[in-house]
Amino acid sequence: MPEQASVTAALKVLLAQVAVFQALLLAATALHKAVRWRRSLGVMQRFAGVPRALSAAAAGGAIATEVSAAVLLAVPTLREAGAALAAVIWSVYLALIVRAIVQDRRDVDCGCSFGPNTSPLGGFHIARNVLLMALAVLVAGVSARGGVVAAEGSQLLAGFALLALYGAVDQVMGLQPLRRGEVL
């Protein structure tokens, strides 16, 4: 029994770290959309298929939704709702990516990267969003069962470390030689 309790406690701490990571990532994506507003409007039109007249409202709605999910994830008592909202966000982005690939629009700017978008949409983008969605669902499920712990200093640092790792993987996957399967 003590071993099971320690595994459960470790899982709660790990999920607090994942919740912090998701909150930071969603806050960063919202900030990125706001700072690069013109790009965001173009992404809404060309990638999401939103009419030009509604692109500002759609981009503003996306920013508000991402900020809301980030705030909810950061509050332990609201983490379940934040994780559920994050899962919806990641699934919408996943659906838009899959739609673009199926429509043979792999070169469309999805706004998925914090740097310049040079890589075509593909398996990496799908896998990334599936993983983000699965993590959000896991956080929501454990939170619903009373598995919430407040994020302390170490969980915050781990969340920032996961965000840095996410950014590094995103940049590496954007390298053109790697995307074509060539050796660097």
Domain spans, the chain: 2-175
| Torsion from C-alpha of 171, 168, 29, 77, nearest 10 degrees | 160
0.75 exceeded by pTM: yes
pLDDT at 184: 38
Quick one: pLDDT band at residue 182, thresholds 50, 70, 90?
very low
Alpha helices in the chain (DSSP H): 2-35, 37-46, 52-74, 79-102, 123-144, 153-173, 176-179
Task: Supply the mean pLDDT for the chain.
Answer: 87
Query: For residue 45, is pLDDT > 90?
Result: yes
pLDDT at 42: 94
Tracing tokens 């965001």 back to the chain, one arrives at 40
